[in-house]
Amino acid sequence: MCGIVGYVGAQSALDVVVAGLKRLEYRGYDSAGVAVLADGGLAAAKKAGKLINLEKELKDRPLPTGSTGIGHTRWATHGGPTDTNAHPHLDNAGRVAVVHNGIIENFAALRAELEERGHELSSETDTEVVAHLLAEEFSSCADLAEAMRLVCRRLEGAFTLVATHADQPDVVVGARRNSPLVVGVGEGEAFLASDVAAFIAHTRSAVELGQDQVVELRRDRVTVTGFDGSPAEVRAYHVDWDASAAEKGGYDYFMLKEIAEQPKAVADTLLGRIDAGGSLTLDEVRIDDSELREIDKVVIVACGTAFHAGMIAKYAIEHWTRLPCEVELASEFRYRDPILGGQSLVIAISQSGETMDTLMALRHAREQGSRVLAICNTNGSTIPRESDAVLYTHAGPEVAVASTKAFLTQLVACYLVALYLGQVRGTKWGDEIRAVIRDLSGISAAVDRVLETMEPVRALARSLADKDTVLFLGRHVGYPVALEGALKLKELAYMHAEGFAAGELKHGPIALIEEDLPVVVLVPSPRGRSVLHDKIVSNIQEIRARGARTIVIAEEGDEAVAPYADHLVRIPATPTLLQPLVATVPLQVFACELATARGNEVDQPRNLAKSVTVE
């Protein structure tokens, strides 16, 4: 989950690296550090806490100017967030500097070996052993890339490593196994980073790194090899967004900006999905239609917010394709011996494309002979590369840790996959598919309308800042939305928040209802699912009779709920299956405003990082 930046070129490495770390701080903010090669030596600085602490340290104690450097912003795993445990880590001679993302599982044995040979290690981290191992190997081969290959062959676990050596001042070397690392190629300069956001202000030309590969960066060339030294085939690609997309653009928080970007993100995800013949097309489907017609079940694997998108997708897939659909937490999937085979289609949903739990679930599915389709926002990431098909969401960069526009675009992508399967399998006619696409095309404007009416929601959120608990209820596709609303409050406001299926209320959760307890209720349309609507109105009456403060989200024109709502939030009328696309937005605004009122850090909530790249 940590953020990594490496640079070699003609600019000040320190300036480039620190600017890159600012763009990656969403990946971890327990500590930060940099190392620069200059004047025949290596200079480093690192501080616990957020990046601003490192910037103050650099202002008080400037490092020498150099044109090669590396940097790191940390989400702690091995060892607490202290100055000593912060990266970079150096060898005893201070000639090697290493930054690392991931976990080295056999570090204890390696550390014991090093200490037996007289090495002194000062931190609690697994990373420091790599610096010492690299120093040993470099002393024999005098080539940092070769030393990295030799060290990587000894390491177990998931890791990205980036290193420099004072004896090779114009070289940065990186290595990747099950953890993100991307190369940026400029004019007379090159970059390494966990995410293209780190170098997007300098170049939009990127190179993918594959599994178990080492990359050597020099000013004039990039060389990629396998851990065994064999030449690797590289795939270049162009990043289709620029630096301004990763800036706040006048908003107080990235989350506010990303909430506001949702209408455009939804429209971009739909762009170009219907071909000249009126058929639905996806990005990179390397699964033949004949194989899709043989699919006997769909399994969705995802984590967190993406898991809630998968829960909603289940309703659409089963309704439109008549295929059974299971939704699994990726972190549990491979450990429970799931029943899969060649006729199973596994859909892996991940914003970053690097979520380790989802990647491991994907690999398990492929080992069982299943086909895998990825829904992802990040071009060139691991999950799409290891899948048989991919549907990119085109949401643009999402920097805030709490997901907003990624969730809505994942929903749109899930609907598109369901429609595509219906098209291929003949369970949906072409005119039916085009009708749903028309409805989806109207969602962008509907989300815009929701955003224009959010001031009462913000005021309500501020009024609840002293509450300890908020409950969320929903039925049908409203149930996963309730779960998502509760998750947002947990992430941002640090409140006790729970989402329940409204029909389960009388089976236990109603015991939680007490005087003035805020309960958010998502009401299905009275037009499409009238029986569900009537039942949830009964639920609202039940909790209000017990003193709950009812916050009701209902579509325009639904007057049946008005008498029972202490606070009524209107959303545009949409087809039932698509309602989550508009119903989720008030919950995002609500959580963001409530967290702000409680004085919390909205973009970087405590203990969380954007991309979970360890299990």
Q: What pLDDT digit, counting tens, does each position of 216-232 carry?
A: 999 999 999 999 999 99
Tens digit of each residue's pLDDT (9 = 90 or more) over 531-540: 889 999 999 9
Q: What mean pLDDT do residues 546-570 have?
A: 95
* pLDDT surpasses 80 at 311: yes
Q: What is the CATH number of domain 452-597?
A: 3.40.50.10490
Question: Would you state the pLDDT for residue 427?
Answer: 94
Q: How far apart are CA 416 and CA 409, in angstroms?
A: 10
604 Cβ neighbours under 8 A, 6+ residues apart: 25, 26, 29, 50, 401
174 Cβ neighbours under 8 A, 6+ residues apart: 6, 148, 160, 161, 162, 163, 181, 183, 192, 209, 214, 215, 217
Q: How far apart are CA 319 and CA 436, in angstroms?
A: 13
* pLDDT surpasses 90 at 116: yes
CB crowding 171-207: b at 16 or more within 10 Å, else e: bbbbbbbbbbbbbbbbeebbbbbbbbbbbbbbbbbbb
* pLDDT surpasses 70 at 62: yes
Record the tokens describing residue 421, joined without a space. Answer: 């399967």
Q: How far apart are CA 31 and CA 73, in angstroms?
A: 6
**Measured between alpha carbons, how far is residue 23 from residues 14, 17, 431 in Å?**
14, 10, 44
* pLDDT surpasses 80 at 553: yes
Question: Would you state the pLDDT for residue 241?
Answer: 62
Q: How far apart are CA 479 and CA 34, in angstroms?
A: 45
Tens digit of each residue's pLDDT (9 = 90 or more) over 404-457: 999 999 999 999 999 999 999 999 998 899 999 999 999 999 999 999 999 999
Helix ranges (H only) for 356-470 are 356-367, 382-385, 405-425, 430-441, 443-452, 455-463
The boundaries of every CATH 3.40.50.10490 domain in the chain are 254-441, 452-597
Round the average pLDDT of the chain to a whole number and report it.
92
CB contact at 8 A, 182 and 196: yes
CB contact at 8 A, 325 and 314: yes
With 0.75 as the threshold, say if the pTM is over it.
yes
* pLDDT surpasses 70 at 283: no
CB contact at 8 A, 355 and 614: no
Q: What mean pLDDT do residues 339-352 have?
A: 95
Tens digit of each residue's pLDDT (9 = 90 or more) over 19-45: 999 888 877 778 999 999 999 999 999
Q: Under DSSP, is residue 462 helix (H, G, I), strand (E, B) or coil?
A: helix
Q: How far apart are CA 217 and CA 369, in angstroms?
A: 37
CB contact at 8 A, 216 and 145: yes
Q: Residue 497 region, left (φ>0) first, then alpha (ψ -120 to 50), else beta?
A: beta
**Measured between alpha carbons, how far is residue 202 from residues 11, 199, 410 in Å?**
11, 5, 29
Q: Is it true that domain 3-246 has CATH number 3.60.20.10? A: yes
Question: Would you state the pLDDT for residue 360?
Answer: 94
Q: How far apart are CA 532 and CA 405, in angstroms?
A: 28
The boundaries of every CATH 3.60.20.10 domain in the chain are 3-246
Residues assigned a catalytic role: 2, 610
Which CATH architecture fits 254-441? Answer: 3-Layer(aba) Sandwich (3.40)
Question: Would you state the pLDDT for residue 154?
Answer: 96
